[in-house]
Structure 1
Amino acid sequence: MRRAAGGTPGKSRRLPETAAVLEVRRAVRGWLADYAPDAVRGVAVALSGGADSLALTAAAVVEAGQVDALVVDHQLQSGSDKVAAEAAARALALGCRSAHVLPVEVGNAGGLEAAARQARYAALDAARGGLPVLLGHTLDDQAETVLLGLARGSGGRSIQGMAAFAEPWGRPLLGVRRAATRQLCADLGLTPHEDPHNSAPEFTRVRLRNEVLPLLEQVLGGGVAGALARTAAQLRDDGAVLDALADELLRAASAGADTHNDRADSNCPALSIETLATAPAALRRRAIRAWLRAGGAKALTNKHLQAVDELITAWRGQGGVAVGGAVPGSRLVAAREHGRLTLRLRGSR
């Protein structure tokens, strides 16, 4: 981790009261009031040098006071270190308390986008010093996320979009359009860095941004991005209620299983098949998903969930369902055993 030199850290510049500046400042102020009212130690901001994160940083310095900028250098392009250093210096000029450049090594697991994201979030988490990290995701990013979730077809959870706060990650700008962050930068005389990856058509999200969403706006008469974002917010509210009911179902199913349950093979107890089978399908599947995750299942798919659900509702004597796991050399298997749904490690070395 490298700290940027130059600038006058800790002294925020006065911002002009333009429409874009006031909109972004209101969004950050509202987020702080809702999710970090006692953030006396300040916040961290993930700064890429692009318009969204620059606008967020400028507003956060004014609204939060103590801001540490974290600049991730993915080292995927020639000169990325200079881009990162410039972003860090700009953060100090805007009044950040500190600015740190975080070089990362990006692997290739799951594709470039996924690997870069994993490396980025790991670096931010390690460097945040216990502070919440503000991310510059806008309403446009939210709309793109919802569309990607629709394409996966894995249920309501996949189209809930990004939450305003999922500790430690904060997203104050989910109600702000990308045009406003660009206008703020123009109002402040800032020239954002344009990442070539953001215009590379080989990335699905880029094509959604540049081709699909504009076409939808044209065909449907505008307002599509906002409608998608509102849908995500409504589904998150619904999802919170369903999650609470699913937790109740899990407690009842655990209590209804045999008392000789043990947890030697997983982090969760066996569940009563009878209790699960008589529950509404939407709650049962949500409960199964939470139970599998608590037991260590990774990268769950709709196919996994459907197969486990069939152990309860369409029992034909089928064997257990392998759902992955984090222990090398073993499989995590959900199975039906004597009226109970169990989760065990098989083949552990």
Structure 2
Amino acid sequence: MSSALLELRNAVRPFLENLSAGDCAIVAVSGGADSLALAYALIKEAPDLAINLIAVTVDHQLQSGSADQAAKVQVELKAMGYQEVIIEKVSVKEESGLEADARAARYAALDAIAKAYGATQIFLGHTRDDQAETVLLGLARGSGTRSLSGMAVLNGKYARPFLQLTREQIVAACNEVGLKPWNDPHNENAKFSRVRVRNSVLPVMESEIGPGIAAALARSAAILRDDADALDEMAQAVISRVDLKDLDCAALAELPRAIRSRVLRAAIYSAGAPGGSLSADHLSAVESLVTSWHGQGEASLPGGVKVARISGRLSLLARP
């Protein structure tokens, strides 16, 4: 067995070993090198552990010929040894940007299939290079600790065994075993910010600063994830003993800002703001009601949530 292939199989095996014999797991396969290599490594390891694998390829219907491409992926996966390969068509509503909306539609489809089949794990093929890109995009947006911590190796049902492997390692393994990945045209379209980071920003950083940038960014993400987890835990301890609809401003002001912002965010979402809708400006407006009070009016937030300071307390209500 080649060293590249051994690295892939060694990466997936611990995740499979954490499952129980007879469990069902899903692998998401676009047909690109990362997901094809993941599917290959899993199908080689899963039978020994009696894990039932289902491959899913999501057709976003965003490009002409997408149905044909999905069918080709299905054929390749069947030849690889998968008995069940699902082609799931989704409709992408372009509301928050094509990349984000396509991702949301894809994850919703995977969640629905996992629920229907009782799958305990959903495998994704993200690599260390993807992690580096995610961190850089977060930095460009001025994101906080949680966003800068990148993608988790394990997040609920979702598992990313290849986060410590490079795209170069994945491609080498594909070449060694004769896999023929599909090159998605969207991955070369410079209108997408991730593509610009991948093809322009990271290469310049490697050239001008030195090699190892992607690895360094991935290490930073891991460190920040530990910090974010600790801060979330401390904030949760506060959240568990307060009424999120009626918060004492003096008590909030005494909290470290990192904890206070998490409590405020939880309160706003609890009041009805849509998930992921809060910006730094939204949170800053609510923060000022606590720490820079000068009689200002209520803060209007997504989802019709209104936050007002009344008699030294924050009142959060959802209004149509």
Q: Do structure 1's residue 40 and structure 2's residue 22 form an aligned pair?
A: yes
The within-5 A match list for 1:269-288 is 269-288=245-264
**Alignment partner for residue 61 of structure 2, among 68, 75, 80?**
75
Does residue 212 of structure 2 align to residue 223 of structure 1?
A: yes
Aligned mate of 1:318, from 272, 296, 314: 296
Once residues 317 and 176 of structure 1 are traced to their aligned partners in structure 2, the CA distance between those partners, rounded to angstroms, is 53
Alignment of 1:205-284 (within 5 A): 205-254=194-243, 268-284=244-260
| 1:163 correspondence with 2:152 | yes
Q: How many residues align?
A: 311
Question: Which of the pair is proportionally richer in helix?
Answer: 2
CA-CA distance at 1:39 after TM superposition = 6.2
1:252 deviation in Å? Answer: 4.2
| Deviation beyond 3 Å, 4+ runs, structure 1 | 251-254
Distance in 2 separating the partners of 1:273 and 1:292: 15
SS in structure 1 of the partner of residue 317 of structure 2: strand
Contact 2:31–2:181, Cα closer than 8 Å, also in 1: yes
SS at match of 1:107: coil
Structure 1, unaligned stretches of length 5 or more? Answer: 1-16, 255-267, 326-330
Give the % identical residues: 47
User: Unpaired runs of 5+ in structure 2?
Assistant: none
Please say which of residues 194-203 and 289-298 is displaced more in the overlay: 289-298
Q: CA deviation at 1:87?
A: 0.6
Structure 1 residue 30 corresponds to structure 2 residue 14:
yes
SS of equivalent to 1:288: helix
> 1:303 — aligned with what?
281
2:187 to 172, 194, 198: 198
Matches of 2:143 and 2:278, distance apart in 1: 10
State the Cα distance separating 1:32 from its structure 2 match.
3.4
Aligned-pair distance for 1:77?
A: 1.7
Q: What SS does structure 2 have at the residue aligned with 1:174?
A: coil
1:294 corresponding residue in structure 2: 270
Query: What is the letter of the counterpart of residue 26 of structure 1?
Result: N
Contact 1:335 1:342 in 2 (8 A): yes
Letter in 1 for 2:5: V
1:91 maps to a residue whose letter is: L
Q: Work out the CA distance in 1 between the residues paired with 2:128 and 2:35.
A: 13
- Answer yes or no: is the 8 Å Cα contact 2:53–2:82 preserved in 1: yes
Q: Offset of 1:48 from its aligned partner? A: 0.5
RMSD after superposition: 1.5
Whether the 8 Å CA contact 1:45–1:69 is kept in 2: the answer is yes
Normalising by structure 1, report the TM-score: 0.85
Contact 2:26 2:122 in 1 (8 A): yes
Q: TM-score, normalised by structure 2?
A: 0.93
Q: For residues 296 and 170 of structure 1, do their structure 2 counterparts lie closer, same or farther at Cα, with a shift above 3 Å needed?
A: farther
1:181–1:126 Cα change, 3 Å: same
* 2:68 equivalent to 1:92: no
